[in-house]
Amino acid sequence: MNKTQRKNLAEAVSLLSNLTDRPDDDQLTPDDVKKVINDAESIVTSTAEEEREKFDNLSEGLQAGPTGQGLEEAADNLESVTFPDVDDFDLDTTEGREGLAEAIQAAIDEIEAV
């Protein structure tokens, strides 16, 4: 992954982290939360597509080598990041907000593991 892609992933993590830092913020509507999650998901998806394209453009020999394997692994890991569906959580309850915060943190952990 190049420097720009890492910067983009850091931005996705930052967007999501801002949500987990404010689980009881009544200013955030479910639509606000969905938008932030969708923005972060778009960044991760775009980065995964870029990595997959780089891998696909390598010769078979390079795909089988360490560079190719690294690109493929990064693409696979980014493609498998699970982003929470806000509609699955009742944001009117503490339990729902905490559950969403945990699901967002799990997505952050998956992104940071790449």
In whole angstroms, give the CA distance from residue 45 to residue 114: 13
Each residue's pLDDT tens digit, 53-69: 999 999 999 999 999 99
Query: Residue 114 has which token pair?
Result: 């790449």
pTM, full prediction: 0.92
Give the pLDDT score at 23. 58
- In the predicted model, residues of the chain with pLDDT beneath 70 are 23-26
Give the pLDDT score at 114. 93
SS3 percent helix, strand, coil of the chain, rounded to 5, is 75, 0, 25
